[in-house]
Amino acid sequence: MSMTPSSELDPCILVIFGATGDLTQRKLYPALASLASAGRLPDSFAVVAVGRRDKTDGMVRQEANRAAGVDAGKVNVDRAGKLFQRLHYFKMDFDDTAAYPRLRGLLERLDEEYHTGGNRIYFLAVAPHYFGTIAAHLHSQGMAANTGPWQRVVVEKPFGRNLVSARQLNQRLTQAFSEKQVYRIDHYLGKEMLQNLMVIRFANTLFEPLWNSRYIEEVQISVSETVGVEGRGAYYEEAGALRDMVQNHMLQLLTLTAMEPPAALDADSIRDEKVKVLRSIRPSSLEELASSAIRGQYGRGMIDGRPVVGYRQEERVDAASQTETYVALKVHIDSFRWSGVPFYLRTGKRLPVRSAEIIIRFREQPGVLYFRQKHDMLGPNLLVIKIQPEEGVFLQFNAKQPGTQSTIVPVKMDYCQNCHAGLNSPEAYERLLADVMRGDSTLFTRWDEVEYAWNFIDQIALMWEKSEAKLELYPAGSWGPLGADRLLHANGHKWLLPFQCLLSERPSYSSPDG
């Protein structure tokens, strides 16, 4: 899964539908500029921005330079500037059948100008209800034939709202593009430490033999955000945290943590093992789900010392909204490796810190020797995969404190790969765009992954709907509803706080022979 030099990439044109939107400005233009700066784009390459607003080539080039920080010198000005000189704008309504032949004509002219050979990437940065419409028109105009030159389509989340809508959406897409041409993006999979997780597991004798129920007590996967809905109230009212975060990001973290070693490092071998995890999630009755799926919604509170409104006071949000902004789940994977090990997942908005971590807590030693007395005062053995904002690995174990007494303390080994100047990790979209260009689908979700994920999510949504499960309010700036704590207490566990868990909350003690 290494980045390919530009000389080994096929020439192509990137066509961005919805190019005047927020995603293109915040993520795609900066990612393209960074790839250009690093010499990671094909030598023959161009971009076509497709949108419904009245703009000129000059206007979108200025916007791209500004969004990517070219004018501010944040990237290589010469390389990024030359890239955006190859940026062209095409105005159209996505429903306008007559516009697609004109788009095809523009792309054919650009093929001749830039020697791109008919290879295309169609990035659909649009609302999901346009996916099928755009795909059907591209197919009808012979722009998705994939015979000789290749064409690939990238779709953003949300991929449907439930299993039924996802199947309908997929059917429309695959009528125009084959499964191998479809790249369903989950930007979490582009994060450096998620890719590193497989290396940590499968390239180290230190960890893989211990990666099972015999040695692991519990796994906690947490993604916390300090922000609210940030003007996306209408979208969030439809999605909620369950569909916005759990269905994609959280379940991807789960599958990479729990998967078996793949037969090879090719895309299908890795994705086969991820699907097996989703298939192995223990099915539960509505009654069982009611005690293992907690939902909450933030109210008024304080973030970074300033007051913030509650979710129901946000713009374009129902004043009596029952939409969840927080989800906590207890999941069991019925496999030989993970039998009896609970996986705790939680994600929420307006929490105290921004963080994404996978925490592995190992089992304690038998109650002998140092554990004979006061064994609960020892620090737990922890392995923490830090995904954001720090990227790295943390290991905590017990050792004797220097001195004349036999005092045991938790000690820390901490590796941070983005803490030093000059060692900036690529942004997720940089990696993902480069992978689409070289046809590597490893970090993209296959249809059966989406299908099994929605099947699990639909069970939870149905339970909440039928049982009228209580929506617990929590103050902004807190760690969420009390029900999330009760979820773990039932197993004698507690949430390990981001970064604070790195400093053991348990005091040291002197051993009996001290």
State the residue for tokens 């004509």. Answer: 105
Torsion of CA 274, 344, 350, 252, to 10 degrees: 0
| Beta pairing partners, 384 | 359, 394
Please state, in angstroms and rounded to a whole number, the distance separating the CA atoms of residues 260 and 196. Answer: 16
> Are β-strands 182-184 and 12-17 bridged in parallel, bridged antiparallel, or unpaired?
unpaired
Q: Which of 115, 249, 332, 420 is catalytic?
A: 249
Angle at 65 between CA 60 and CA 70, to 5 degrees: 175
DSSP letter for 5, please: P
**DSSP H helical segments within 191-301, as ranges?**
192-202, 233-241, 251-258, 267-280, 286-292
In terms of Cα–Cα distance, which of 357, 348, 355 is closest to 471? 348
Task: Show the tokens assigned to 224.
Answer: 């916390």
CB within 8 Å of 343: residues ≥ 6 apart: 218, 219, 220, 221, 254, 257, 258, 330, 331, 332, 333
Q: Are 60 and 452 contacting, i.e. CB atoms less than 8 angstroms apart? A: no
CA angle 358, 363, 365 (to 5 degrees): 145
What is each CA distance from 452 to 162, 273, 340, 449, 457, in whole angstroms? 11, 13, 22, 5, 9
Give SS3 for 406.
Answer: coil
**Nearest to 119, CA basis, from 50, 44, 172:** 44
For residue 375, indicate whether it is catalytic. no
Tokens of 267: 């895309």
Q: Using an 8 Å Cβ cutoff, are 166 and 159 in contact?
A: yes
φ and ψ at 382, to 5 degrees?
-130, 140
Cβ-contact 380, 361 below 8 angstroms = yes
Any idea which residues carry the catalytic annotation?
249
